[in-house]
């Protein structure tokens, strides 16, 4: 009788090592999905707490042009000054509602001379050219505005700077284009203007809370890791039966398993098997 001695062969150590590595990878992927879910939940909580909160003066939230706390994303801030309409820029390839268009960036100069970049909203691509057909003008003179803070974006290509188009809201590039010192860590999505113009670009919609399927994927990866050991156990059991098929005790157990298998079959299934064997 061989018993379980076949497991001492080094190939089984290899099988075990592969199973352990696979399970570790599954656990790491599960933890990564949990981390992604935590990020999604944190973003949902930020939107819930900041999006409709009372507006705070800009200087109280961003004490310097290069300061920004990610926890302040979507926070509403207020400021008074005037739009630098001659320095307006377009950010191309911006999706909204299944369409692609442009975000309208207009620098906003505060009373102390600092400049803050405001995304006044979205306009669709024109019908006959790769530019908006019309762009609602920003109000002139002294304006009080409320915006929601967003972090500056990374570089995506170089844009079409000669025509006043950007590929992303990369604030240092915006500073170079308008040749003025600006807030370089954050910009604002326009919420309201006073006095309000008759028409303005389409406002960005409020983010919809969505955790995604990360929790489901986490459960699946843990299950895959467990199933790897279940599969290894099944292979070991089958190998044990094959290696000990000449042992009387194992032959008796095999006969009992066959009796149970046949007991579960219907008469028609048994007859079909008999006919197949002839």
Distance CA 225, CA 222 (A): 5
Taking the mean position of all CA atoms in its chain, how far away is CA 64?
30
What is the structure's pLDDT at 130?
80
How many angstroms separate the CA atoms of 59 and 113, rounded? Answer: 13
Residue 278: predicted pLDDT: 57
Would you identify the CATH topology of the domain 54-194?
Answer: OB fold (Dihydrolipoamide Acetyltransferase, E2P) (2.40.50)
Mean of all residue pLDDT scores within the chain: 86
pLDDT for 265: 60
Residue numbers in the chain where pLDDT is lower than 70: 1-2, 157-162, 245, 247-258, 261-278
Q: How many CA atoms lie within 13 A of 83 on its CB side?
A: 22
- Hey, where are the domains in the chain? 5-34+212-268, 54-194
CA 81 to CA 141: how far, in whole Å? 8
Q: What token pair was written down for 17? A: 């090592």
Q: What is the pLDDT of residues 64-108, one digit of tens each?
A: 989 999 999 999 999 999 999 999 999 988 999 889 999 999 999
Report residue 255 as tokens: 């006969």
pTM, rounded to two decimals: 0.73
Beta strands 115-124 and 56-57: pairing type? Answer: unpaired
Buried b (16+ CB within 10 A) or exposed e, 142-160: ebebbbbbbebeeeeeebe
Tokens of 178: 């308008």
Please, are residues 157 and 148 in contact by the beta-carbon 8 Å criterion?
Answer: no
């Amino acid at each position: 009788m061989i018993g379980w001695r076949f497991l001492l062969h080094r190939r089984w150590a290899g099988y075990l090592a592969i199973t352990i590595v696979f399970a570790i990878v599954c656990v790491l992927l599960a933890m990564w999905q949990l981390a992604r879910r935590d990020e999604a939940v944190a973003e949902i909580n930020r939107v819930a707490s900041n999006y409709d909160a009372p507006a705070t003066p800009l200087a109280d939230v961003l004490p310097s042009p290069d300061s920004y706390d990610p926890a302040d994303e979507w926070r509403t801030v207020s400021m008074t000054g005037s739009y630098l309409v001659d320095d307006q820029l377009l950010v191309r390839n911006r999706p909204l509602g299944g369409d692609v268009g442009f975000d309208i960036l207009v620098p906003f100069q505060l009373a102390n001379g600092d400049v803050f970049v405001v995304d006044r909203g979205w306009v669709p691509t024109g019908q006959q050219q790769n530019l908006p057909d019309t762009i609602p003008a920003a109000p002139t003179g002294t304006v009080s505005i409320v915006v929601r803070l967003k972090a500056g974006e990374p570089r995506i290509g170089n844009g079409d700077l000669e025509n006043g188009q950007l590929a992303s809201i990369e604030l240092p590039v915006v500073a170079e284009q308008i040749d003025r010192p600006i807030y370089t860590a954050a910009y604002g999505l326009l919420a309201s203007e006073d006095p309000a113009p008759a028409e303005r670009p389409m406002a960005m919609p409020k983010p919809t809370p969505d955790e995604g399927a990360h929790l489901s994927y986490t459960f699946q990866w843990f299950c895959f890791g467990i199933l790897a050991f279940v599969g290894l156990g099944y292979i070991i059991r089958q190998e044990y039966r094959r290696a000990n098929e000449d042992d009387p005790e194992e032959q008796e157990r095999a006969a009992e398993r066959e009796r149970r298998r046949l007991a579960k079959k219907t008469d028609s299934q048994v007859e079909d098997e008999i006919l197949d064997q002839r």
